[in-house]
């Protein structure tokens, strides 16, 4: 049986293989090459893996769009494998998608008809905006047939009671959105703040319970992580791919200001490591 630390290491190795690239000066592509601290922290994240022979100094350039897609895919694979290992804590029929839109799920299926109406009436679309968003990773749960609900005890029969809950397959055939995961390799522009808008849309436009709304990032600078992590309401949590590694690097650099900011986010329940995410999704 694979252990949690090994699973995290596999995730980092996948990132090294498919996402991380180094330039001729050895600067990783999650570093801001004009920012000395960003370079130092990013190198601190990957250097232990390079020394162990698990992360080669690949200098083949990748366009930003391919970096983003590869990051999404590796993160989806990690979350799916980790969550399946926690099946005894959160049983169910789950799927982990890079292609679905939120209107494919029961809490948001009404938005498909709304979107169609807005497209037919440009003036309304201009006034109300676009309700249809496509987060990077969507985690859904399939409705449960009654024979599975009654596996251990004859809990429910017929349609006289529990006629509206979407968890019963007899009531609903549309999957239930459990979590929305936005992946940000770096946080360097106003576009990164789009995840807040996505989160607000998920909260305001739902019919039913709110899914988990989280961000996964490889951004090295605590100050830029804070631009997403600080504050509450639109995001549940920000998860970093290598949080202990950032802490250790800042200690070596003796950067107490950045370390204090990082610890503020951690102690304030706004920032966690990627290894925490599957457990949080199981709550």
List the end-to-end C-alpha distance of the chain, in Å, as a whole number. Answer: 23
Interval 82-126: pLDDT, tens: 999 999 999 999 999 999 999 999 999 998 877 676 667 676 555
- Spatial separation of the C-alpha atoms in residues 259 and 175, rounded to whole Å: 42
Looking at residue 130, its pLDDT comes to: 59
Interval 156-178: pLDDT, tens: 988 889 999 999 999 999 999 99
pTM (2 decimals)?
0.93
- Helix, strand, coil abundance in the chain, percent, nearest 5: 50, 10, 40
Looking at residue 1, its pLDDT comes to: 63
Interval 46-79: pLDDT, tens: 988 888 777 877 777 888 889 999 999 999 999 9
Could you tell me which of 219, 258, 213, 220 has the C-alpha nearest to residue 237? Answer: 213
Element holding 181 (H helix, E strand): strand 176-184
Looking at residue 128, its pLDDT comes to: 53
Domains of the chain, earliest start first: 4-19+63-152+162-281 (3.40.50.10010)
- Spatial separation of the C-alpha atoms in residues 198 and 182, rounded to whole Å: 9
Whether the predicted pLDDT of 34 surpasses 70: yes
Looking at residue 8, its pLDDT comes to: 96
Query: SS3 of 208, please?
Result: coil
């Amino acid at each position: 049986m694979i252990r949690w630390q090994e699973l995290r290491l596999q995730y980092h190795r996948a990132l090294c293989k498919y996402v991380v690239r180094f330039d001729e000066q050895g600067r990783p592509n999650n570093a801001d090459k004009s920012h000395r601290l960003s370079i130092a922290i990013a190198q601190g994240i990957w250097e232990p893996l390079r020394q162990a022979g698990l992360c080669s100094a690949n200098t083949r350039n990748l366009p930003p769009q391919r970096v983003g897609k590869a990051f999404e895919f590796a993160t989806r694979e990690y979350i799916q494998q980790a969550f399946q290992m926690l099946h005894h804590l959160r049983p169910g029929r789950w799927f982990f998608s890079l292609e679905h839109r939120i209107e494919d799920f029961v809490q948001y299926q009404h938005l498909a008809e709304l979107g169609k109406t807005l497209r037919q009436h440009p003036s309304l679309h201009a006034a109300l905006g676009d309700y249809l968003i496509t987060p990077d990773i969507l985690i859904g749960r399939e409705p449960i047939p009654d024979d599975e609900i009654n596996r251990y005890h004859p809990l429910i029969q017929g349609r006289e009671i529990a006629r509206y809950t979407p968890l019963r397959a007899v009531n609903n055939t549309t999957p239930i959105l459990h979590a929305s995961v936005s992946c940000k390799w770096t946080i360097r522009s106003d576009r990164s703040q789009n995840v807040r808008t996505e989160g607000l849309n998920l909260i305001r436009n739902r019919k039913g319970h709110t899914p988990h709304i989280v961000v996964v990032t490889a951004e090295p600078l605590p100050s830029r992580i804070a631009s997403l992590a600080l504050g509450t309401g639109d995001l549940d949590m920000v998860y970093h791919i290598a949080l202990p590694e950032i802490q250790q690097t800042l200690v070596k650099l003796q950067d107490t200001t950045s370390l204090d900011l990082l610890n503020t986010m951690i102690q304030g329940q706004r920032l966690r490591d990627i290894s925490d995410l599957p457990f949080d999704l199981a709550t």
